[in-house]
Amino acid sequence: MQSFIPNAQDPRKFRDALGKYATGVCVITTDCPRGPLGITANSFVSVSLDPPMVLWCPARYSRRYEAFTTCNSFAIHVLAQDQLELARHFTGDGLDFAPLKWSRGADDVPLLEGCLARFECENYSVTEAGDHAVVIGQVIRAATREGAPLMFLDGRFQPG
């Protein structure tokens, strides 16, 4: 028999229920006064095809929150299943780009090499939503390659 959350206000049970939905894993990058900045996220979704728009949701408690909610431009990098170490790398402070292959795009946004897909975006809007913000980006450029995605399910990274 299925077990349902008797009270969705229980944070642990709510988080466990959300963990049953498999998501892709991405790294979002921007340029900030301290240099290139990245963060690993799984809250990424398409919003519109015309014009092309996507969104992601940074946590308000993150030290990187202000940089990402006030930037002019950012890039979303969808990770392939062989990029687990890249995902883990940006769960840290986000400022260490030294060991990575990357270049600068428009507005000096860091662009990571080898990702499954990349969306270069202009910041369209930011809306606070509970303990996160909803950041909508208008996509200026997109690129893809073949491969299987890195997934996040039940609180763990998993191959796609």
| 111 within a domain of the structure (yes/no) | yes
| 4 within a domain of the structure (yes/no) | no
| 39 within a domain of the structure (yes/no) | yes
**pLDDT value at residue 112:** 98
Q: Report residue 101 as tokens.
A: 């292959």
Cα 39 to chain center, whole Å?
A: 7
Kindly report, residue by residue over 101-145, the tens digit of the pLDDT: 999 998 899 999 999 999 999 999 999 999 999 999 999 999 999
Kindly report, residue by residue over 2-46, the tens digit of the pLDDT: 566 566 677 888 778 877 778 899 999 999 999 999 999 999 999
Name which of 3, 1, 43 is nearest 26 in CA terms.
43
Cα 123 to chain center, whole Å?
A: 14
* Domain span including residue 104: 24-149
| 156 within a domain of the structure (yes/no) | no
CA distances to 66, 86, 87 from 81, rounded to whole Å, are 29, 10, 10
**Rounded average pLDDT over 56-70:** 96
**pLDDT value at residue 53:** 98
**pLDDT value at residue 40:** 97
The structural domain count of the chain equals 1
Residue 95 DSSP code: -
Query: Rounded to an integer, what distance in angstroms lies between the CA atom of residue 35 and that of residue 94?
Result: 10
**Rounded average pLDDT over 85-105:** 94
**pLDDT value at residue 6:** 60
> The CATH number of the domain where 66 resides is what?
2.30.110.10
Q: Is the pTM of this model over 0.75?
A: yes
pLDDT band at 1 (very low <50, low <70, confident <90, very high): very low
Q: Are 42 and 23 in contact (CB under 8 A)?
A: yes
CA distances to 4, 85, 98 from 56, rounded to whole Å, are 27, 21, 25
| 51 within a domain of the structure (yes/no) | yes
- Sign of torsion over alpha carbons 132, 136, 127, 124: positive
| 12 within a domain of the structure (yes/no) | no
**pLDDT value at residue 8:** 66
Query: Rounded to an integer, what distance in angstroms lies between the CA atom of residue 98 and that of residue 102?
Result: 9
Name which of 3, 159, 153, 151 is nearest 78 in CA terms.
151
Whether residue 160 has pLDDT greater than 80:
no
| 97 within a domain of the structure (yes/no) | yes
Scanning the structure block, which residue is given the tokens 């809250």? 43
| 50 within a domain of the structure (yes/no) | yes
